[in-house]
Amino acid sequence: MNWTMPRPVLQIVAAVIGVAAVGSFSIGILTADAPAKLPGERQTGGYGQAIEAQEATPLAQERIEGPPPPPELTPEEKAKQEAEKKAKEDAARAKAEADAAANGLPQLAPPPSDQIGAVLEKARPAPPPPPEEPLF
C-alpha cells in the first residue's frame, strides 16, 4: 500500500488515536457504577432497607388464563344485532345519497361486494408508455 503522507505525520496520528483510546478506557473505568447485588446474595454492610411493595396484588386466575369468553348470543339477540347493523348501513347509504343530491352529483350505486376485485382492477391506472427516446 502506498501512503501519501510522510511517516512522521502518520506516527503523530497513530499516537493521538492511541492516547484517545487509552484515555476513554480509563475514564470509563473511573466513572463506572459499583457492581449491583445479584438475587440471592447477602447484603454486605448496613446500608439500605428492604422495600415493601404497597401496590402488589396476588395473581388471580383471570390474569393467568385471560378473561373468560363472552357468553353466546341467543337467536333473538343475533337477529337484533343484524337488524341494527342493517339499519346503520341503510342510514349511511341514505346520508350519502342525500349529500350527493345536495351537491348535485350523480348518484352512484355501490358495487356488489363479490365484484370488488374486478372493480379495483378497472380502477388501476394504466402503466405509462415507454419513452420514445433514451434517457441518456
User: Where does the pLDDT of residue 110 fall: very low under 50, low under 70, confident under 90, or very high at 90 and above?
Assistant: low
Q: What would the pLDDT profile of 117-131 be if each residue is shown by its tens digit?
A: 777 777 777 777 776
Determine the pLDDT at residue 128.
Answer: 76
Say how far apart CA 10 and CA 78 lie, in whole Å. Answer: 83
Long-range contacts of 82-88 (CB under 8 A, 24+ apart): none
What is the maximum alpha-carbon separation in the chain? 93
Asked which of 34-38, 61-65, 72-76, 91-95 is least confident by mean pLDDT, the reply is: 61-65
Provide the whole-model pTM: 0.29
Residue tagged 448496613 (cell numbers)? 46
Determine the pLDDT at residue 18.
Answer: 98
**Bigger pLDDT: 30 vs 133:** 30
Cβ pair 100, 106 in contact under 8 A: yes
Cβ pair 109, 103 in contact under 8 A: no
